Chains A and B, each alone.
Chain A
Amino acid sequence: MYQFNFQPVFDNLDMLLVGAWLTIQLSFTAMVLGMIVSVAGAVAKTSGITVLRLIADVYVEAIRNTPFLVQIFFIFFGLPALGISMTPNTAALVALVINVGAYGTEIIRAGIESIPRGQIEAGRALSLSPNRIFVHIILKPTLRNIYPALTSQFIYLMLTSSVVSVISASDLAATGADLNAQTFASFEIYLVLTVMYFLLSLGFTGLFAVLRRVFFSYPVAR
């Protein structure tokens, strides 16, 4: 009969909490930067400029049809051949941003395309500048419409970020792997890690609900 031993986990709970904090920082930074990449990608896709659209298409398809694990191997081990060397933590962040940027591009593009043309024409008729039309008439309503899809993609990003532990970037999963190497209480450690990731995903879900109330609680005109 297997003897459960949670003592090593509870003795090192502070270590795991630091790991959880690292995962929060890493995912949050990746979300913010990924958001910028996503908007840029979506603008390129809907710009009507063939070259930009093509580049964005290739980027989105290449990333969405290959595993994150291979992407991070390629970035961390492969790119130094081109003279681009990164520390594990930087490579992890870059890989996450590139990855979530591709999914975000598709989500935001769909949102932009669903904005009625008449809205944009109305903006022009009111002689709003192109920038203001983009920010107030296109981007903000788009973000409001696609908010659920985008935030669930962000939570998926946080879960995916556990994979960065394979290039020994520092995060919750890597902290768990270190602890496992010291104590060998494998099942117990990964059980606690899984629970912690679950709590993190609940936490991010809650945070996104709050942000939604702050930014998008205004009534929609009909």
Chain B
Amino acid sequence: MFREFSSADVMFLVMAIRWTVILSVLAFAGGAIGGLILALARTSRIRAFRWAATGFIRLFQGTPLLMQLFLVYFGLAVAGLPIDPLLAAAAALTLHASAFLGEIWRGSIEAVAPGQFEAATALALGYMDRMRYIILPQAMRIATAPTVGFLVQLIKGTSLASIIGFTELTRAGQIVNNATFQPFLVFGTVAALYFALCWPLSLLARYLERRMRRTIAR
């Protein structure tokens, strides 16, 4: 009938973490590029850019991640591409992360003192130089804490990839549970593994936020 939940199963779950991490890293890397473009578009002087970026962010923040995953997954077939769970999950999570990081980073860019923009412009720096040397380095410091906080949300979000059939940590848990039928132990272990991934990041985000507050207060 069912086999026991053994140390081999625990190892299987621990090994499945790598797919959760790979998916998170892919989505974060893609989301960082998308988020930077969105944040720059949102703070741009060109109205069409601002509108397009706002629309994108509203759309992705106003719909469930699960629906975004399904849409991209079935959308691959519509576009005539092969249906691959990893590709679909990475693409959907990238779009999702882009929207959230875009919104976080927009706030960080806007939090840089306006005098910095003006001083940079007065020094005849062009848009690229102004952003690269003056604004973005300062915005990055402000953005660090909420970005790490979002990373936790993203790691948790990758669990939904299991629903479109990508074998990461949660899906591995379902597979082990189907074989052992010890849901309390299996999903308890899965939850503990996610906790081990996310909690240090949460603590780091909180530490960074406290340090940031002190820097601003000074």
Contacts and interface: CB of A to CB of B under 8 A. Distances in A.
Q: How large is the interface on B (under 10, 10 to 19, 20 to 34, 35 or more residues)?
A: 35 or more
A6 interface: no
B108 interface: no
Interface stretch (B113-121, B122-130, B134-142, B156-164): B156-164
Interface string B36-66: 0000000000000000000000010011111
Contact of A190 (B67, B177, B199): B67
Contacts, number: 118
A194 B194 contact: no
Contacts of A154: none
B63 A71 contact: no
A206 B59 CA distance: 16
Contact of B184 (A67, A82, A155, A202): A82
Contact of B63 (A2, A165, A201): A201
B167 interface: no
A190 B80 CA distance: 18
B157 A186 contact: no
A201 B79 CA distance: 28
A81 B187 CA distance: 12
Contacts of B198: 64-66
B202 interface: yes
Contact of A65 (B71, B80, B177, B194): B194
B29 interface: no
Contacts of A201: 62-63
B74 interface: yes
A173 B160 CA distance: 14
Interface of A: 2, 61-62, 64-71, 73-74, 77-82, 155, 159-160, 162-163, 165-166, 173, 186-187, 190-191, 193-194, 197-198, 201-202
Interface of B: 59, 62-68, 70-71, 74-75, 77-80, 152, 156-157, 159-160, 162-163, 170, 173-174, 177, 182-184, 186-188, 190-191, 194-195, 198-199, 202
Given A70-B191, A79-B184, A198-B63, 15 more contacts: A61-B195, A64-B198, A65-B198, A67-B157, A67-B170, A69-B170, A70-B194, A73-B183, A78-B187, A186-B70, A186-B74, A187-B74, A191-B71, A197-B62, A201-B63
25 contacts: A61-B199, A62-B191, A64-B198, A65-B152, A65-B156, A65-B199, A67-B159, A69-B162, A70-B159, A71-B191, A73-B190, A74-B184, A77-B187, A78-B184, A78-B187, A159-B62, A173-B64, A173-B67, A186-B77, A187-B74, A193-B70, A194-B63, A197-B62, A198-B63, A202-B62
